[in-house]
Structure 1
Amino acid sequence: MAELRRIPGLEPKIARTQAALWRLSAVRAFWPLAVFVTIFFAMVLTGLIDAVSDQLASIALLIFLAGLLPLVWIGAARYRPPERGEAIRLLDRQSELRPLSALQDRPARPDASGVALWRAHETELTDAARRLNVPDFGAEWRASDPLYLRFILPTLLALAAFLSFSVAGERLSRAFSPDIGSLFGAENIRIEAWITPPEHTGKPPVFLASDAAPVRVPAGSELTVRAQAPSAPNLIIEGEEGRERVRFSKTPEGAYEARAIITADSELRVSWWGERASWLVEASPDNPPAVEWVSAPEVTPTDKTEFSWKASDDYGIERLELVLFRVDEGGDAREDAIIVQLPGLSPKEAEEMTSIDLTRHRWAGLELRGFLRATDGAGQSTMSEAEVFILPEKLLLQPLARAIQDIRVTILREDGEYEVAEAQNRESLVQDEVFTEATQRISRAPAGIQRASLMIDAVTYKPERYFEDVSVYFGLSHAGSILQAASSTDEADETEPLLWSLALRAEYGSAADALRALQAARQALEEALRDGASEAEIQRRMEAFKQAAQNYLAARMAEALANGLDSPPSDTDSAQGGGSGMGGSDFADMLDALSDLTETGATDQARQLLADITNMLENLQFQQGNGSGEGFPGMPGEQGENDEDMPDEERELSETLQELSDLLREQRDLNDDTLAEQRGERRSQPGQQPGNQQQGEQGESGSQPGEQEGKDGGSSRGGTLTERQARLGDLVEELARRRGREGGSSEDGTGAGGTVDEETLEAIERAQRRAAEALEDGNNFRAIRNQDDATDQIRDLAETLAGELDDLKRERLGEEYGNGGDQVDPFGRPMGGTSDSRDVNIPDEAERQRAKDILEELRRRYGDPADEEERDYLERLLDRF
């Protein structure tokens, strides 16, 4: 038997014949499938599927998939793969010798003569096999495909693909991925999504749109997706950390809602039978706050701890604390945090000086290690570098007060635990016996509590000898009873408020209660200003502060009289000392200015003025009199010194200061009246405030009772604004002429009464003359500008002369002047005219009135009918103030 593979060129003929049979068999089996697929793809490529609705496109795909499977199954069942023998038989038909089949035979008698004959026959068969060709299947193809679909279908597909070459991919994609959900009501789905940033960022919610660019939100924001759908959709969040699927829950309204926290850049998708919405969200990290010392803590003359600090955060600082640790080895390792008031509500950047009274702290008098800790709204905290300082303790001069303070700190610094009693249940008690261990709790107290109890017993021994205030004695006895009954250090610490008040009462007497009330009222008002409380709440706390200030002044006055003050100070201003009598107009002006600032929303200025007023009241001092009724600083002379005892130069300078003070007061009154006229209000008459609705217009038509006095060099409140301004200019001219006539000028241009040179007075007079001309021309704007210029120059001149008067007194009195407690006024301010940098800066009345006018105008416009946009703008302005 010969091998067919040995015949050159025969094996490829057999393979091609077999492939032709395979194609013929495949067409016969799968031609329905081919027609079905070709028609669908032709519809897709020509755009027919793309032009119909989502529902029809989905139906077409479902029909295609539904028809595809059975046709594939039918074709597979009908398909018969051709075998090799079938291809060989088709090739053998071309020769009568049947060479391929014959070559596979073998000789029946393998003898010598038979073998030679067989070899010759094989050679003939091999030659015949080489002459064989692949048979023609034309008849078979015509029988199997009479319509020539094998050519038409590929041509149709190729033509459709050529015509839709640029959009073929999109059409195929839409055809095979239609919105199947449209068959189930997807067109009725409504999806809303928004992101709510954390509250501490102060940012508004962000609504998401499907076609919007990536949205940037703070890290930690909450995503809310709400969907109106037939069933619950799926929320998929893909980020750097992986993929997260969030479940939707049904709301009472019948909708579906899902919530998630955005911590990193993410892609959000809502799917329901396909993707229904998607968004890209970028998360901005919330950086921790930064805080540092600007100046190390130091002790002020009033025993307060003062330090400067600087802090910042990208969204605002929520809390700032002074964290303290004890330095000594015996101290506990626990921290003690003290809240530091922020200048505003969640400031992003702040740099301020803070003054805290820590004399009541349990570690007062010890060396501490302090840190500043800033915390933002996200709860992130940052600690500053350490500063080591000694915490100031309250300066108590009375022995009894110091003893009470020692008892107090001994209790507060004890953190040990009480010993547990041996018998704790009823079964351990014996009949007819008394369980004394349950009552003798002080014996189980830590060493510090026991020592404090013994100290109270020692201090209260022989009270009739050492106690002048019986309330202090009874208070200590009550504190001792609390310690005897206490069963824990927390219960023992409850004696702290009582012991502190007793120490202050023993040191200061009854004024201590008024001081505590004043400090509490100040803190309440400061918190309202800082936190942006309502106008009614701020006004209520303002009135409480005013009342507390008046009560404190009354208590200090009563204490001073009890200690030997001959008579109460006058309620009038001290013209030459520049101070204020207790309850005088200066103090009233301060309270009025504070009220105006709180009303107009100037919180920073109000807080500063509030601190200044409180410091002045805390520094309030009185002197015992000399029988003259002028026994407090701020009046002419020092310690009963009369004008006649003063040197001529000081007396003349003091008189000049008095004249400048009167001139400055009248110029300010005129400024207020001019401002009132500019606002359209009626001008004030002597003794009335500008803008009073009961004022008349008599000043414009004739002389007033004060007019003649103004011509004589006194008050200039009578007449029109122009006449009054002109008379003020005449007064300045007269002052310059009189000072020059009395003292002349020195070589450096100064007169005998101080540095009142002609140029200064001429500049003041020019400003007043220009203001009078502007008033006469009806130009109130220019008049106000020149009046303010004249006011500033008069004030600067008065301050300069007051400084010279201080220098003259200091040269004459030596170290005693300005150093001792006798050289300050009741508010703790240096005597001698103007104040230094510690003085209270009271905003000008005209500025305060302008602020009030602006606020009233905003309220009026908000009440008038206006478009919604303007109304919202005005509402934001009013909320701010």
Structure 2
Amino acid sequence: MANSSRPDTPAGLRALRWPLRLTWAGMLAENLSRALWPLLAVVFTVLAMLMLGLHDIVLIEVVWSAAVLSGLAAAAALVYAFRQFRLPTWAQALTRLDASLPGRPIQALMDDQAIGLGDAASAAVWAAHQKRMAARASQARAVPGDLRVARYDPFALRYVALLAFVVALLFGSIWRVGTVTEMTPGGGGLATGPVWEGWAESPRYTGLPTIYLNDIPQGTLKLPVGSLITLRLYGEVGALTVSETVSGRVGDVPPASGAAHDFTVTQSGDISVNGPGGRNWQVAVVPDDAPSVLILDDPERAALGEMTLPFSANDDYGVEAGEARIALDLANVDRIYGLIPEPEDRPEIIVPLPMPIAGDRRAFEENLVEDFSEHPWANLPVTITLSVLDAAEQQTQSVPREITLPGRRFFDPLAAAIIEMRRDLLWNRSNAERSAQVLRAISYRPDEVFRKETRYLKLRQAIRQMETLANYGMNDEQQQALADDLWKLAIELEEGDLADALDRMRQAQERLEQAMREGASEAEIAELMNELRRATEDYLKQLGEQAQREAEQNGDQQQGQQDGMQMTQDDLQRMMDRIQELMEQGRMAEAEEALRELQEMMENMRVTQGQGQNGQSPGEQAMEGLSETLRDQQGLSDEAFRDLQEQFNPDAQAGESQGNRGRSGSQGEGQQHSQGEGGEGSEGAQNGDQRGQGAEQGGGSLADRQQALRDELNRQQGNMPGAGTPEGDAAREALDRAGRAMEGAEEALRNGDNAGAIDNQAQAMEALREGMRALGEAMAQEERDSQPGQGTAQGDRRAEARDPLGRTPGANGGTGTEEGLLQGEDVYRRARELLDEIRRRSAQGERPEVELDYLERLLDRF
């Protein structure tokens, strides 16, 4: 070993004590790493083999051979370490520290003046030099040691050993290291002595891993209730025995010395393996809590009778299924009129509760959406009870809640009377004679009640059938068939196919006024408002067709009619929006007054759209293109949602995933797989401007079609009018957000993240709607800025040729138009309402085959 005595340190170097010590420590670590790396590699390798249990799966001779080789390798590594290690001296540390400073100031401070000792000037120069060197030495910092040993280990054997040790830590067990002692002559003899193995398998629904009991030291062991314990005993029979108090088994129990033991943990207790190498555990059972379910609020009723009931459910491992039970609350029924007799026995209404398709089922909130309008208990007091079931088959029920079972509201008095008699008939068939008498009374003067004679004849037929069955007896099938006929007749009277569109609009206004007076829910009022919008549009269509026919008969006399009251389509839309805004604010009195003003104006007005162009303006073309893009995006979102559903329902056939509402297809209201990835892209290319290549072909993956749709949106942005105006800039900003959302959806689709893609697609559709609204405002502002009287004579002649809605007749005399009568959000709203209505009717199998074929063709097209 080298001399480690520390040299005398000059007074000027006393400030370097700690940098010098740290530099010496770094040199010591450097020498140790270079000398001990072989020994560490051998130790890590041996520990890794023992922790992985390699000695348990090979022959005993192989184990002894490996032990001898490991011993020789360790001895060689020790010899290498003694030969390589040198303890660093303080002089070496001082030299390294001095070499790290410019000019080697430490060596200069240790030097003495050689010449000019008696010369004052020389002494002054030497003192100044020493002072400068001292200042430079005071800036010294400790020099770290060089721990790199790659030059001594060119094959990186140290890293191989370290990797094996890390793998053993992750996948092995430290407890297996001690088992090697049993392989020694006095260690118990693995091959001849008794051994055992055990596993604790938690119930599958818990998601917990299986525990290897040999790796678990004796002590407390927490296991979920229902865990399966498996123990296997090897060696001489009777050398090892098993005892336990966790299963509660009685009767036929296998002997304690048996080779195999399997039992289920049902209670806390002890598990013991008695004998050489045995072990004992105190098992603490983790109970499986029962699920819980809660009704959050009273059900909401839509205008057409659909019930929405919010509820929440939770369980420690997840809710598996649930159901709702609805029973008649006879004690709270007002027993008058047809409800006086005792009701016929009817089973409880049982409907399954909706469960989350994806995500955590341990705690969630959902809505039960069902339509009970045709049930005999509709609009009667009932009790509803929710129950949920977990994977351990534990069932919990909610507290029964007293509600009125939501049903459809009928505003037409005759339809409401028929529904009431239908309810009485289903309540008890003994009411048949009374119901027939009431229906005869209300239809005594059919000319004053029925708008169509066919409906009166249907009612008379139902009355005669009811009277006949009342006299000769009525079975269940006849009772239900008669109730179905009355329901269809009531629906026809309530909705009908009115020939007079004005009467239908008045009827919608009366329904809305009545709902506001009776304090209906916001959802019901909103649906009735939409019905009024649809009825008004139908009335405007009839008005336009009538004006067109008059124009063809009177020729140029239509010019004289321009003196009548006029209202643009935008004015009418603003009035309806104002009425809806007043209702949403709770100002019902003002809303009723505005509704009456609208009714008076509609009966006396003349409507014009205010457009004088035969072709489409750039704004209209942009709006049409954005509408097509929005429909294409909706189609891609529907298909992505279908694919997400089928990931959790792989056994579903084409388009039959429950709740699938794709763009087209006949099964399950979803798109058939046979259509591949086809969407609406090709059709959109025909209806709008030139579409992108991917959307035009409608083929390829969803991600490719999403990319093509984003490229098409970028092209449309370049042709959008209104640049420089606040509205136009707002439209462009919204479309920029839509493009970014589409890009995110494309990336998610390529990564297989359908849920993330659906979220991005929803953001893109919302941004598209905002862009369309802003573009509509820009077009309206541009129209307001244009001054009257600037039109040409040709424009005046075009205005004369338009119908009251401002539509230019086609070349074949038709009254259709390619111009959008609705702008912005209403375009999407109207399209979705029409598509939903087509889907609803196509799902009604009792319709004629010809009508169903027609509806299927509509779905394929749109």
Q: TM-score band (shorter)?
A: 0.3 to 0.5
Q: Which structure has the greater CA radius of gyration?
A: 1
Q: What is the TM-score of this pair, normalised by structure 2? A: 0.37
